[in-house]
Structure 1
Amino acid sequence: MKHNFLIRPIFFLTVLLNMLCTGQLLAQKKTNIILLFADDAGYHDFGFQGSKTFPTPHLDKLASEGMIMREAYTTAAVCGPSRAGLLTGMYQQRFGFEENNVPGYMSTSSNKIGDEMGLPVHLKTIADYLEPLGYQSIILGKWHMGNADKYHPLGRGFDEFYGFRGGARSFFPLSQKEAFDRPADRMERGFGNFQEPDKYLTDALADEACDFMDRNKNKPFFMYVSFNAVHAPLHATKEDLEKVKGLTGKRKMLAAMTIAMDRACGQILGKLKELGLDENTLVVFANDNGGPDGTLTCNYPLSGCKSNHLEGGIRVPCIVKLPKVIKAGTVYQQPVSMLDMLPTFVNAAGGNAAEIQGLDGVDLIPYLTGENNSVPHEVLFWKKENRGVVRQGDWKMLRFPDRPAELYNIAEDISESNNLAYEYPDKVREMYKLLFEWEGTLERPLWQLKRVYEVNAMKRMDEKRTPVLDN
């Protein structure tokens, strides 16, 4: 009897320890998630996209280890709305985030202006959905979802924040005057702890990312590395400029900024491997909208640029890597959307995105692995002001306020040089109706840009119709 009394506690203790260890192992097996997100990068300005003048060896290596998305789209041609769609998995027009939230550019008729323009607080973000699944989440870099305290990342599901609340800032430490004049540009650690980096910002973000992984290597994490590179201002270090060959002027500066971002990605991915986490981490690299101007950045072979809905404004470079699930060195040719990141991440984390109401994105993994042989999206939409776009299969129709609609077959005419609207009026009518019906589900914009910026966007579209190759 005494012997049995001794055995029972030992037995139960052993069972308890096994359960705890099993739970720990299950936690360790949860897939980590890293989103490397560039800002205003050109579609062609990466080695894995064909560039010969923008060296990106680390991202090229990531592409060789993962899958390249040839038809990845953002939900807007400017960064604020596109990031709102990314973070919520919903078309941002559904909740009135249609225009870029840049203080000082708004019409006086807007419902919200200045720091009050932000992601409505009732909406959940990717980090909100990952939190109950046991994930530690951080955003590094650009937030741009509202400058007011109520929009702060630490109130939107993220556990940590090292970045700035606004949409663009210097890559070098701000002076006291700059910080006073543009408070949303200040680098902030956590909430209200403003501290400028002691080095080039892209490098500082990489350091912080590596530190976060070190501190969280034994628990599942979501890391949103929201680079402000290569958005203006054009700032590069002397050392990176010396690495650029065959370019001058602004293109040289942009290439140097890209070198720094590629190095930062390489540092992060290297740390992931050093910690032994690379085989259990979903890594996505993408961009928030098309490259601006069309001559500063290179969007070849696409026409158009940031702020318009030609392919160069909304199609972006994208890589997805998930070892043992997604075949390395492959290419996916069907249209995907940044709306798909939320459901993909939630399901990868062990959640069930199908239970989330109102999502417009889909879990991409079954499509990328071939488990689902259909296409992720039969139809995709874009809208800003009176401009609207619908892509249905290979067909793309663009509606404008100042001219007749345009129709293109993207599979046969990636540069959108052959307008087929007059040859296929019935197709235009069909797609126009699809767009109109979708618009009936949307909210009115919470704020609106001054009309001159919409006029300027149309002018840039007309000026950047012809793709220009800069190898």
Structure 2
Amino acid sequence: MKKLINRLLLATFVLSVCTAVQGQPTKSKKPNIILIYTDDLGYGDVGCYGTSAIPTPNIDRLAKNGVRFTNAHATSATCTPSRFSLLTGKYAWRKEGTGIAPGDASLIIPVATTTLPGMLQKAGYNTAVIGKWHLGLGDANGADWNGVIKPGPLEIGFNYSFLIPATGDRVPCVFVENHNVVNLDKNDPIKVSYTGPVDANAPTGKKNPELLKMHPSHGHDMTIVNGISRIGYMSGGTAALWKDEDFANILVQKATAYITQQKANPFFLYFSTHDIHVPRVANERFAGKSGFGPRGDVLLQLDWTVGQIEEVLKKNGLLENTLIIFTSDNGQVIDDGYKDDAVEKLGNHKPNGIYRGGKYSAFEAGTRVPFIVTWKGKIQPGKVNTALFSQVDLYASLAALTGGKVEAGQAPDSKNYLPVLLNQTNKPREYLVEQSINSTLSLVIGNWKYIEPSKGPKINKDTNTELGNDPKPQLYNLADDPGETKNLAEVYPERVAEMKLKLDNIKQK
């Protein structure tokens, strides 16, 4: 009897302890993070920004369920430097060799760098990049396309990678998964050159326009793949060559598999779309559906892509624990190398909104891009934030969110603006630096923008983009003149001098 009583008392004690533990709040799981990084998307290309004539219901839903930023910026008006800054927390103009990378460029991020994904890895995250890369691959000799391709994303903080190695309009036109070209036949080796043809007898866009289904408007007249001539020359790899119409489908499939596989663990997915970069070749589901030509069609495709990513999160019960950030690497460009009727069919669509310039430019439309953040149950829906914000700050802000550490010497230009990112405040960044294609720098402080004197053409005649180059300093009041039409440098010389000094100090920092 005594033993029975002791057993009952022990059972009662264990039950009471278990009940007490169950009643205590458990340590919350770290949030998943998905960064949807689009390509060449203008401030006004998206419906929720007010000047789009092309419906984007899925992207608009992100804004409806979260916060839409009206003064958020990429660090550069071109892709490679924006991506470099995003992943390193360091302005690209601080490092040589970070301009628009050729398709055979070596990895431009030093492997000793603790990148944004590397920092998150150390904080307990599984990390992946799926989509456009354009930050180089391989060592100083370049990538071995027929062997093990490293260093690359896996050497700088990613656990998994599935890449468009450079851009859709640059060779090699193959996918790279982790360290290898996908579907490569070793008996058909890939050769890549940016100095001259690797096969003198192979057709090119310049020699054989009759073979093209999309013709170049400037450049883009070298090796032909999938009826489209590209920048650069390649041969071989026939079984591995991509079909542009499949880009969105394949990237969504890879993202879906990754999210599903990692749903029990905190993960960071850098989902870098090809859309809406050239060549603009939509899947048959979207081709001809926008009424605005191929550029409009791939914008519909991009919107579908966003909806698919949200759907897989919903299916796996992850919406409540996933922070989604949607933005672009730079502003819009209409004719960027192919005759795809983008100019002729632009109609009443205003891809740059009320802003001047676009991709490549020192004017606002070069770096002021759509920026939407949503997190179900954590960020109030339907809000607008006017704070000045830079993508370079995602590194430090996400470190603060996840308990990650910004190590000494890493991410020198990134500041913690997590309360802004989560729309808890609209306190702006103290200042913001913008970079144009020729590394002309602009400084924004409050409503004032200073563009340093620069050489170069005022207009890129190929793309018909105002570049903002001027041998004299420029000063604009963005509150009164968001279109940057009135240069006030001669009216406020003291302010010009102050902002020049500030920019010089930032350069030397």
For this structure pair, what is the TM-score category when the shorter chain's length is used for normalisation? 0.7 to 0.9
Asked if 1:140 corresponds to 2:130, the answer is yes
Q: Which runs of 5+ in 2 are unaligned?
A: 139-148, 184-239, 336-341, 344-349, 456-470
Give, in angstroms, the shift of residue 390 of structure 1: 1.0
Secondary structure at 2:131's aligned position in 1? strand
Aligned-residue RMSD, C-alpha: 3.1
Give, in angstroms, the shift of residue 438 of structure 1: 1.9
Asked if 1:72 corresponds to 2:72, the answer is yes
**Which of 207, 215, 226 is equivalent to 2:261?**
215
Query: What do the CA deviations read for 1:98-142 (whole angstroms, capped 9, x no partner)?
Result: 422225xxxxxxxxxx52351222212211011122211111111
1:237 aligned partner:
283
Do the aligned partners of 2:387 and 2:420 also contact (CA within 8 Å) in 1?
A: no
Asked if 1:158 corresponds to 2:158, the answer is yes
1:416 aligned partner:
484
1:317 aligned partner:
370
2:174 aligned partner:
186
Percent identical: 30
Asked if 1:53 corresponds to 2:53, the answer is yes
Do the aligned partners of 2:288 and 2:294 also contact (CA within 8 Å) in 1?
A: no
Do the aligned partners of 1:84 and 1:97 also contact (CA within 8 Å) in 2?
A: no
Q: Which structure: larger Rg?
A: 2
2:219 aligned partner:
none
- Specify the code of the residue in structure 2 equivalent to 1:286: T
Query: What do the CA deviations read for 1:162-211 (whole angstroms, capped 9, x no partner)?
Result: 122213348xxxxxxxxxxx33x311222214145686111211121111
Secondary structure at 1:168's aligned position in 2? coil
Cα 1:353–1:147 shift into 2, 3 Å: closer
Bigger drift between 365-374 and 71-80 goes to 365-374
1:282 aligned partner:
323
Do the aligned partners of 2:34 and 2:323 also contact (CA within 8 Å) in 1?
A: yes
Distance 1:17 1:136 in 2: 33
Distance 1:81 1:30 in 2: 30
Alignment of 1:76-155 (within 5 A): 76-102=76-102, 114-116=104-106, 118-148=108-138, 149-155=149-155
Distance 1:263 1:417 in 2: 36
Secondary structure at 2:285's aligned position in 1? helix
2:354 aligned partner:
301
Alignment of 1:392-431 (within 5 A): 392-402=445-455, 403-431=471-499
Cα 1:10–1:289 shift into 2, 3 Å: farther
Give, in angstroms, the shift of residue 342 of structure 1: 1.5
Asked if 1:329 corresponds to 2:382, the answer is yes
Query: What do the CA deviations read for 1:33-56 (whole angstroms, capped 9, x no partner)?
Result: 001111111221111122442211
Bigger drift between 46-55 and 228-237 goes to 46-55
Distance 2:23 2:92 in 1: 43
Moved segments of 4+, more than 4 Å: 1-23, 196-199, 293-297, 352-358, 368-373, 383-386
Distance 2:408 2:20 in 1: 32
Do the aligned partners of 1:98 and 1:383 also contact (CA within 8 Å) in 2?
A: no
Do the aligned partners of 1:284 and 1:319 also contact (CA within 8 Å) in 2?
A: yes
Distance 1:31 1:411 in 2: 36
Cα 1:237–1:381 shift into 2, 3 Å: closer
Do the aligned partners of 1:390 and 1:396 also contact (CA within 8 Å) in 2?
A: yes
**Which of 497, 501, 509 is equivalent to 1:433?**
501
Q: Which runs of 5+ in 1 are unaligned?
A: 104-113, 171-181, 442-471
- Specify the code of the residue in structure 2 equivalent to 1:213: I
Secondary structure at 1:315's aligned position in 2? coil
Cα 1:348–1:17 shift into 2, 3 Å: farther
Alignment of 1:370-381 (within 5 A): 371=424, 374-381=427-434
Do the aligned partners of 1:203 and 1:260 also contact (CA within 8 Å) in 2?
A: no
Secondary structure at 2:105's aligned position in 1? helix
Cα 1:91–1:16 shift into 2, 3 Å: farther
Number of aligned residues: 412
Do the aligned partners of 2:84 and 2:109 also contact (CA within 8 Å) in 1?
A: yes
Cα 1:206–1:386 shift into 2, 3 Å: closer
Per the normalisation by structure 2, the TM-score is 0.73
- Specify the code of the residue in structure 1 equivalent to 2:300: I
Distance 1:21 1:167 in 2: 53
Query: What do the CA deviations read for 1:299-345 (whole angstroms, capped 9, x no partner)?
Result: 12111111111011111111011233322111111210111211222
1:173 aligned partner:
none
Cα 1:299–1:235 shift into 2, 3 Å: same
Cα 1:97–1:391 shift into 2, 3 Å: farther
Do the aligned partners of 1:102 and 1:167 also contact (CA within 8 Å) in 2?
A: no
Give, in angstroms, the shift of residue 374 of structure 1: 3.3
